[in-house]
């Protein structure tokens, strides 16, 4: 049976991609004018660890049809040695995730045997607005000619059609990039439809990133989760408590399903 891939480079890379796309370095800037290249003031307020922890989607946001994903690659001593660049044309983006001043991530899977959909929510706060906006530009350049992924990793072959847009999920968002990679995964003579969706949304120097992995034709929607994650970040920025209201519980057997 072809279950939800774990540790496979294409899927692991996809779940980290949104964060990687918006990661920033901490090098010195040549611009001493006090503004970023786009005219936005370069002085930023960096969130602390407690704040980014509060900003990611909570278990209550996902609902009873999901459980916390305890398959954390950070707990795998061999994870750092694995190739995480098996995403074809999407691998052009660096995965320097450790450059943010503060970051948090929470991952959830459906409470089913296949553990799909799988949804990951992350928040990163950076100390340089220039670097964050530069990463978004690099992603746009990487996506310009990225239309298809055809890779084989760990005995599984992924054939995916890639599309992207920049529709924002809230008016407070400065820029947002949404990516979908839809197609099939095959292994040991079994082929199943696969859908991967990613979103990265920037508000000043803070970025929320969401990913969703589905086994199923076209998969489900990521946007409601993205909107909820943005809402949580805005609440933290405003000094208020984020909402734990369940967003969309579309896992099989979850509370969101009706007969």
* Res 250: pLDDT: 52
Environment class of residue 152 by beta-carbon count within 10 Å: exposed (0-12), middle (13-18) or buried (19+)? Answer: middle
Alpha-carbon distances, residue 174 vs 23, 28, 37, 167 (angstroms): 16, 24, 15, 11
Contact present, 66 and 108 (Cβ < 8 Å): yes
Between these two residues, 216 and 64, which has the higher pLDDT value?
A: 64
Mean pLDDT over residues 114-140, rounded?
Answer: 89
User: pLDDT tens for residues 198-238?
Assistant: 999 999 999 999 999 998 877 889 999 999 999 999 999 99
pLDDT for position 68? 95
Q: What is the largest CA-CA distance in the chain?
A: 61
Residue written as token pair 């990611």: 56
Residue 126 has pLDDT above 50, yes or no: yes
For the stretch 74-116, pLDDT in tens is 445 454 444 444 566 666 554 444 467 889 999 999 999 889 9
Q: Which residues contact 145 (CB under 8 A, 6 or more apart)?
A: 89
For residues 154 and 7, the answer to whether their CB atoms sit within 8 Å is yes
Higher pLDDT, 118 or 79: 118
For range 115-134, the mean pLDDT: 91
Task: Give the residue, 169 or 6, on which the prediction is more confident.
Answer: 169
Alpha carbons 114 and 109: distance in angstroms, whole number: 9
> Poorest-confidence range of 6-10, 53-57, 121-125, 234-238?
6-10
Greatest mean pLDDT among 32-36, 47-51, 74-78, 147-151: 47-51
How is 152-184 classified by DSSP, letter by letter? EETTEEEEEEEEEE---SSTT-SEEEEEEEEEE
176-214 b/e with 16+ CB inside 10 Å = b? bbbbbbbbebbbeeeebebbbbbbbbbbbbbbbbbbbbb
Q: Return the percentage of the chain with pLDDT > 70, whole number.
A: 68
In the predicted model, is pLDDT for residue 179 greater than 50? yes
Rg (CA), the chain: 18
CA–CA distance, 18 with 63 (Å, rounded to integer): 23
**Rounded to two decimals, what is the model's pTM?**
0.78
CATH topology of domain 9-25+33-238: Protein Transport Mog1p; Chain A (3.40.1000)
């Amino acid at each position: 049976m072809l279950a939800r891939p774990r540790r496979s480079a294409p899927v692991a890379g996809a779940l980290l991609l949104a964060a990687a796309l918006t990661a920033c370095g901490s090098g010195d800037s040549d611009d001493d004018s006090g503004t970023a290249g786009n005219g936005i003031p370069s002085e930023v307020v960096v969130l602390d660890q407690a704040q980014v922890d509060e900003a990611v989607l909570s278990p209550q946001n996902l609902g009873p049809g999901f459980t916390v994903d305890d398959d954390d690659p950070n707990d795998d001593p061999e994870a750092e040695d694995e190739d995480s660049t098996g995403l074809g044309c999407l691998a052009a983006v660096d995965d320097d995730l450790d450059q943010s001043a503060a970051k948090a991530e929470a991952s959830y899977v459906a409470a089913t045997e296949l553990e799909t959909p799988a949804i990951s929510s992350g928040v990163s706060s950076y100390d340089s607005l220039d670097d964050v906006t530069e990463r978004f530009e690099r992603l746009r350049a990487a996506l310009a000619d990225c239309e298809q992924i055809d890779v084989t990793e760990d005995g599984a072959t992924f054939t995916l059609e890639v599309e992207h847009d920049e529709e924002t999920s809230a008016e407070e968002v400065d820029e947002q990039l949404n990516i979908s990679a839809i197609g099939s995964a095959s292994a040991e003579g079994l082929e199943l439809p696969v859908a991967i969706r990613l979103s990265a949304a920037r508000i000043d120097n803070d970025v929320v990133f969401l990913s969703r992995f589905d086994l199923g034709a076209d998969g489900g929607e990521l946007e409601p989760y993205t909107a909820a994650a943005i809402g949580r970040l805005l609440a933290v920025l405003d000094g208020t408590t984020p909402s734990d209201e369940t967003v969309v519980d579309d896992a099989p057997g979850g509370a969101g399903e009706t007969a």
